[in-house]
Amino acid sequence: MTPPQASPAQTPSSTVSTQSAVAERLAEIVGERHVLSRQSELLVYNSDGLPGYRRQPKLAVFPGSGEEAVAVVRFLAKQGLPFVPRGAGTGLSGGALADDIVVIGLHRLKKIISLDVENRRATVEPGVVNLRLNKHVAPHGLLYAPDPSSEAACTIGGNVAENAGGPHCLKYGVTLNHVLAMTVILPSGEIVELGSKVGERDGYDLRGAFIGSEGCFGLALEITVKLTPKPQTVRTLLADFMSVDAAAHVTSAIIASGIVPAALEFMDGPTIRVVEDSIYAAGYPRDAEAILLIELDGLEAGVAADLETVRRVCLDGAARNVKVARDEAERMKLWQGRKKAFGAMGRLAPHLIVQDAVIPRTKLPEVLATIHAISEKYGVVVCNVFHAGDGNLHPNIAYSADDPAESERVHKAMIEIMRACIDAGGSITGEHGVGLDKMGYMEAIFSETSLNAMCELRSVFDPERRSNPGKVVPVHACKEWRAVSGGRLRIAEPPAEVHEPRPLEAEPARPSAR
Amino acid sequence: MSTQAVVSAVKESVETASPLRIEARATWLDAGRPVRAHKTLSLRDDSGVVGYVPGDLTLTVRAGTPLSEIEQVTREHDQWLPLDPYGTSDGTIGATLATASAGPLSASFGLPRDLLLGLEFVNGRGEVVRGGGKVVKNVAGFDLSRLLTGSWGTLGVITEVTLRLYALPKVDRTFAIALKGSEQETGRVIHVITESALSPYALQYFSRPAVRALELGEHPVCLIRFGGNDAVVRAQVNALSQIAKPEETESEIWTRVRQLDGSAHTVVRISSLPVQFRAASARILGDDVGGIYVSIDPRRGVLRIVVGGEDANGDSGTAAIGSSVDFHESQGVIFEKLPPDIWSAVSPSVVSDPLSQGIKRAYDPRNILNPGILGDLM
């Protein structure tokens, strides 16, 4: 493990007195039981869905209303104190970690403020859980399209911060495409409206800039989202293949056919067998080297025709079998295996590394072959389970972090895999965010001037860089920031390449497919 | 023309303190507020495909590439960029993105912001910046692509873009429904179409003067476009026939729709909640003021008013239409074109808020890029 670089130190006395005074003041705002300051209580908040990273917060505060959240942010602004906004903590990039600073937990802000069925939109507080919003709107024949695998736990506020995706984003788009407006409190304490609840707006797309800003631009206190009518028909197919290459080529062929499936998911042989050995067995053929889980939705007539096309493409591409789920129960079972694949990998080894690179879809066969070669070279087992339709890979390696030699091999393999994806013209993250985890790769895909432009944008929203400091863009990439580093802020720079172990259940299980 | 040439031009402008009017094909120079610049930076010649792998359904082009060229290049592979901004396809992709211009297809395929994957631009200091990437899903870094879309060239000169493409539908058919009945009957048809399971590519209603200009008859018209495989289009056409009497029309009609602006001096877009438009649509469509073309996209929630057709009759029509919409709930009145002398009275600036000012100052500290087109900072 590479230790973080030293942060500008504060004198112990000022830290202590500040901490107790700060806790007291925060307790006046939110009530004593909603402020945590004992180290033992704060342990729960020292990691997110990527528990390989640990950072201990100094304090945690949980406002119970928008007004309280405003008061908390304004108090911290007055004190010049940095903070980290946090939703459910299911993120997979280390983005919600607070290194010796204040965590503002937003999970108590869970009101669904309004639902406008006719205009298909809802306004929610940031702590509303994704799945709860979906259950709330389902009786009206509507859904909220972005469906990250953590949807049973993750919050809409967190989804906005990460610009979250999910299997169905292939057809429906990511969070960015579904958020109409936000009421945001800037780190300064000022409240701004971004986007428009009722229409379109001209001027700079500040809403677009805010979505995916990973908590660095402030906190969204109210979020108005677009709702989507439930499709008339949903059909799910399972195609199995005797080679990864064939499945990869079929993925490309389906995309090239012009059909936009609602989801197109890929699982390779090692993943299939792990799932089938687990309690999540979905009836996948154990001897297959790859399966594709393909979902089509829309109007009945169109789906039936597309189903035939997809079946033909699969069979022409050497699929052994193409099975269509006969009913909802069978469909759920097929999805269950995909959803719980990460959990099932717990059978292989105690720790797991997950990546999130994206590659051009035509490069799938080539990059999967490269990944295989890399895994052989380092003697590690890579389980590929990912959003193939988007080219969004999730190569996972299960291993034991207690074995230093194995850890070393695993991390070298992961770095090579990431390089292969970047070389293929891809991106370092499709939906998990940069956070701490991928900051070391930012310079591999963005030039100095591009990173600086990102720093400048951030400085407009948060001139003092107090909101989620030290994330997304490496501090040294920001011209202006280098000149004025230090001061009262604690900005710890994380290691460029992280060699921290990654325990299991990284991707919280999703109970049911849509 | 290359990115480097743009860098040189911007740097020279910074040094000589001479602001730039950024343009490409100059097809839409009368849109936006007057620009205070004596020099022009033209991207007209910075055109062409940089990268196109049809199997990826992504396309990277230089910003000066005309939409017509993108149409042509992608059509060879049965693909398209479903972006149909008002005006003609002589306009460039760079201008389309810079102005966030969108047409009838946007209710189904999204606005320009939704189709843009990544871009390269030159900021007001002459630095080359890239945002996003070339893959269809990407959350690496802060979202400069969205920031630049709709910034009208004031934050940077867009030089290259990567776009998401779609496969051309196997079938693409357009139908017109003449709304001949009473206001009440028109309202009923609009309601039924909206509540139906139909999933058209485009759906627009036009007022009488617009219909005349489109040579579609004498009554308000609903234009509806279906695309997809044969089965899905046929099923929808059948369903539509249960609701009204659709008559098939050639898809060329959409080109004419995009060109309704023609010589208009005023184009205003009013956006509101879709339901509000539905309620007011029948009434608005009944208005018949010469030279004022109204189109309504009920799904997008946008009413577009074009004033200044050849038979224009002053601004009274705009006022009449305005009175039909409840502006209290409609915060989105967007002016696309106005006579130059009234901009400052009607809409002095859309970038006067502190965040927009801060971004402008960071990206173009000397205010040399299209100064004034979105209004002044303070």
Tell me how close the Cα of B215 comes to any Cα of chain A, in angstroms.
Answer: 30
Co-location of B157 and B182 in the same domain: no
* B86 three-class SS: coil
Co-location of B244 and B262 in the same domain: yes
- CATH number, domain containing residue B184: 3.40.462.20
C-alpha A278/C-alpha A283 separation (Å) is 11
CB contact under 8 Å between A199 and B234, yes or no, is no
Domain count, chain B: 2
Co-location of B183 and B163 in the same domain: no
Neighbours of A99 (CB within 10 A): 23
Tell me how close the Cα of A89 comes to any Cα of chain B, in angstroms.
Answer: 18
B370 domain residue, yes or no: no
Residues from chain B contacting residue A426 (CB–CB below 8 Å): 133, 135
Give pLDDT < 70 ranges for chain B.
309-331, 378
Residues from chain B contacting residue A471 (CB–CB below 8 Å): none
Chain A CB within 8 Å of residue B232 CB: yes
Residues from chain A contacting residue B358 (CB–CB below 8 Å): 459-460
C-alpha A44/C-alpha B180 separation (Å) is 67
C-alpha B1/C-alpha B164 separation (Å) is 25
DSSP 3-state helix, strand, coil percentages of chain B (rounded to 5)? 35, 25, 40
Co-location of B181 and B304 in the same domain: yes
C-alpha A35/C-alpha A18 separation (Å) is 15
Chain A CB within 8 Å of residue B243 CB: no
Co-location of B93 and B181 in the same domain: no
Chain A CB within 8 Å of residue B236 CB: yes
Amino acid at A166: G
Domain range for B12: 3-168+352-363
C-alpha A143/C-alpha A126 separation (Å) is 17
pLDDT at A13: 36
Tell me how close the Cα of B217 comes to any Cα of chain A, in angstroms.
Answer: 31
B247 domain residue, yes or no: yes
C-alpha A202/C-alpha A196 separation (Å) is 10
Instruction: Give the pLDDT confidence of A365-386 residue by residue, as tens digits.
Output: 999 999 999 999 999 999 999 9
Tell me how close the Cα of A260 comes to any Cα of chain B, in angstroms.
Answer: 9
Co-location of B145 and B228 in the same domain: no
Among A73, A78, A137, A125, which Cα is nearest to A102's? A73
CB contact under 8 Å between A258 and B272, yes or no, is no
CB contact under 8 Å between A299 and B199, yes or no, is yes
B345 domain residue, yes or no: no
CB–CB of A290/A341 below 8 Å? Answer: no
B91 domain residue, yes or no: yes
* B27 three-class SS: coil
CB-facing half-sphere around the CA of A116: CA atoms within 13 A = 15
* B222 three-class SS: strand
CB contact under 8 Å between B232 and A426, yes or no, is no
* Domains of chain A from N-terminus onward: 112-229 (3.30.465.10), 233-423 (3.40.462.10)
If residue A30 lies in a helix (H) or strand (E), which one and from where to where? helix A12-30
* Chain B residues 56-75 within an 8 A CB cutoff of chain A: 56-58
**Residue B227 forms beta bridges with which residues?**
B172
Token duo for residue B273: 């909640």
Amino acid at A265: E
Neighbours of B248 (CB within 10 A): 10
DSSP secondary-structure letter at A261?
Answer: -
Neighbours of A307 (CB within 10 A): 19
Among A24, A49, A237, A247, which Cα is nearest to A148's? A49
B331 domain residue, yes or no: yes
Cβ contacts from A onto B, under 8 A: 250
Beta-carbon contacts of A121 under 8 Å, excluding residues fewer than 6 positions away, are A180, A197, A224, A225, A226, A227
Residue of chain B whose Cα is closest to the Cα of A118: B275
CB contact under 8 Å between B350 and A203, yes or no, is yes
Amino acid at A134: N
Amino acid at B128: V
Co-location of B113 and B207 in the same domain: no
Q: Are strands A121-124 and A142-143 parallel, antiparallel or unpaired?
A: unpaired
CB contact under 8 Å between A205 and B197, yes or no, is no
Co-location of B7 and B56 in the same domain: yes
Residue to test with chain A: of B57, B108, B137, B326, most A Cβ within 10 A? B137
CB contact under 8 Å between B151 and A204, yes or no, is yes
E-strand stretches of A187-232: 191-195, 219-226, 228-229
CB contact under 8 Å between B301 and A177, yes or no, is no
Instruction: Give the pLDDT confidence of A259-274 residue by residue, as tens digits.
Output: 999 999 999 999 999 9
pLDDT at B326: 47
* Chain B residues 333-352 within an 8 A CB cutoff of chain A: 334, 350-351
Q: How far is CA B342 from the centre of its chain?
A: 22
CB–CB of A396/A371 below 8 Å? Answer: no
CB contact under 8 Å between A361 and B169, yes or no, is no
CB contact under 8 Å between B133 and A445, yes or no, is yes
Give pLDDT < 70 ranges for chain A.
1-17, 51, 480-514
Co-location of B152 and B209 in the same domain: no
Residue that has been written with the tokens 């789920």 in this structure? A325
Token duo for residue B161: 């873009």
Q: No. of H helices and E strands in chain B?
A: 14, 17
Among A251, A167, A459, A325, which Cα is nearest to B361's? A459
Residue that has been written with the tokens 């202590």 in this structure? A16
Residue that has been written with the tokens 């503002």 in this structure? A104
Nearest 5 degrees, angle CA B303-CA B95-CA B27? 80
B72 domain residue, yes or no: yes
pLDDT at B95: 97
Co-location of B210 and B152 in the same domain: no
pLDDT at A504: 31
Q: Are strands B79-80 and B166-167 parallel, antiparallel or unpaired?
A: antiparallel
* Chain B residues 296-325 within an 8 A CB cutoff of chain A: 300-302
CB–CB of A26/A74 below 8 Å? Answer: no
DSSP secondary-structure letter at B366?
Answer: T
C-alpha A174/C-alpha B139 separation (Å) is 10
Among B231, B64, B163, B309, which Cα is nearest to A308's? B231
CB contact under 8 Å between B301 and A432, yes or no, is no
Longest Cα–Cα distance in chain A = 72
- Helix runs in chain B, H state only: 3-16, 67-75, 93-98, 106-109, 112-115, 144-148, 183-195, 208-213, 230-243, 253-258, 274-286, 316-324, 343-346, 354-363
Residues from chain A contacting residue B355 (CB–CB below 8 Å): 192, 204, 206, 460-461
C-alpha B333/C-alpha B135 separation (Å) is 34
Tell me how close the Cα of A427 comes to any Cα of chain B, in angstroms.
Answer: 6
Tell me how close the Cα of B244 comes to any Cα of chain A, in angstroms.
Answer: 20
pLDDT at A319: 97
Residues from chain A contacting residue B374 (CB–CB below 8 Å): 202-203
Residues from chain B contacting residue A304 (CB–CB below 8 Å): 231
DSSP calls for A376-425: HHHT--EEEEEEGGGTB--EEEEE-TT-HHHHHHHHHHHHHHHHHHHHTT
Co-location of B286 and B322 in the same domain: yes
Torsion of CA A365, A368, A374, A380, to 10 degrees: -150
Q: Which of B329, B332, B356 is the closest to A204 by Cβ?
A: B356
CB contact under 8 Å between A177 and B140, yes or no, is no
Q: CA-CA distances (angstroms) from residue A289 to A2, A268, A275?
A: 37, 6, 13
Token duo for residue A481: 């920031």
Residues from chain B contacting residue A201 (CB–CB below 8 Å): 331-332, 334
CB contact under 8 Å between A258 and B135, yes or no, is no
Co-location of B125 and B201 in the same domain: no
Residues from chain A contacting residue B122 (CB–CB below 8 Å): none
Burial track A258-279 (b if 16+ CB lie within 10 A, e otherwise): bbbbbbbbbbbbbbbbbbbebe
Residues from chain A contacting residue B56 (CB–CB below 8 Å): 255, 360-362, 391
If residue A103 lies in a helix (H) or strand (E), which one and from where to where? strand A102-105
CB contact under 8 Å between B144 and A211, yes or no, is no
pLDDT at B328: 43
C-alpha B283/C-alpha B325 separation (Å) is 10
Chain A CB within 8 Å of residue B50 CB: no
B287 domain residue, yes or no: yes
* A368 three-class SS: helix
B373 domain residue, yes or no: no
Burial track A366-384 (b if 16+ CB lie within 10 A, e otherwise): ebbebbbebbeebebebbb
Among B79, A203, B88, B104, which Cα is nearest to B96's? B88
Q: Which of B137, B166, B269 is the closest to A431 by Cβ?
A: B137
Token duo for residue B355: 């965040």
- CATH number, domain containing residue B84: 3.30.465.10
- Helix runs in A150-268, H state only: 156-162, 169-172, 206-210, 244-256
Residues from chain A contacting residue B100 (CB–CB below 8 Å): 202, 205
